[in-house]
Amino acid sequence: MKRKFFRIAALMLAGMCISSCNSDAEDIRNPFDNELQGSFHASSITASKSTGNISETKSWTNIVKDASDRVVQYDYDYKYETMDGDIKNEEKESRIYYFKNHNKQDAITVQSHLRYSQLKKGISNEYSQKISEDIELNSNGYISRISTTIAHYDSDSSEPVIKTHERKFTYSGDVCTGSVYNDDDSKITYTYDWNAYQLTSVTVLKDNHTDGIIEYDKFNYTYNNDRVYLFSGTQLLPFVQEGLPEMFASMGYFGRHTPYILTEEVHNGHIRYNASNSTSTFTEIINRFSLVGDIASGMTYNAKSNTYSTYYIDFKK
């Protein structure tokens, strides 16, 4: 009888242990392992923000994908206007080509045509650019380097000025942890800080070599831990957060994205003027987000902001 009691007690204890272990496993479950519930592919994306004096809009349209769900072309448009009549406009058409290089490695090249115009205090400025980007991938299929050549044409010139720049990316496993951009005039260092599965902050440090100005920006992010984005196709956060080329980030070419729904962005920054040894500090910008919509028609990240009277990022199917 005593032996039977101990056997039952042992079985109960083992059952409790298994139950506890299963509970712990559920608590630490990888959110990337959630089963996807569908596919969402945006054909156009618009990010718009405005204050009482300024309106700014970025849009990605004419987004075309191939049979492998890779974006092969898109158009980009940027508009900036003030109540005083100042205007900036940038239009860019991009075509993306995927191929194997001479070493049988996957590679990407992007050919773009950009047109820029500006009117500031009654003075106009226009130019166009032909842009070629050669993109290298690492062994995991993530972008490790973007080498860019720009043929720059001023409005009154027939011969271009050739410029180049480069950006390199570093990873820890499947997440991007940093990148460095270099051109003739500046160096920009991006640091991406992760806490488990969440990109918690992006730091941008820009060193302008020619004028001795150093710009510092930090973006802190908060998420809803109870809501996970469960769709393949277009990933939304790269168009909301700072620091990575949006289109390729959305396709997963910079590693995994945060699976949780964004709820808040806090932006702080300052500019240091080396010549005068003085510093100007940006006003803290706080944007609180909510995600609405569905994959049938489209989704929108709406923001309530202490700075912008309107701010939203709209993803249309």
pLDDT, tens only, 144-202: 999 999 999 998 888 999 999 999 999 999 999 999 999 999 999 999 999 989 999 99
CA–CA dist 258, 245 (Å, integer): 16
- pLDDT for residue 9: 42
pLDDT, tens only, 207-261: 998 888 999 999 999 999 999 998 999 999 999 999 999 999 999 999 999 999 9
Q: For residue 65, give every residue at least 6 positions away whose Cβ sits within 8 Å of its Cβ, in sequence order, or none.
A: 41, 71, 72
Q: Distance between alpha carbon 230 and the CA centroid of its chain, in Å? A: 18
Largest CA distance in the chain: 102
CA–CA dist 108, 127 (Å, integer): 26
- Is a pLDDT exceeding 70 seen at residue 137? yes
**CA dihedral sign of residues 8, 11, 15, 17:** positive
pLDDT band of 13, cuts 50, 70, 90 = very low
Question: Which residue has better confidence, 129 or 5?
Answer: 129
Specify whether the CB–CB gap between 111 and 95 falls below 8 A: yes
- pLDDT for residue 263: 98
- pLDDT for residue 94: 98
- pLDDT for residue 273: 85
pLDDT, tens only, 34-59: 667 788 999 999 999 999 999 999 99
Q: Distance between alpha carbon 87 and the CA centroid of its chain, in Å? A: 25
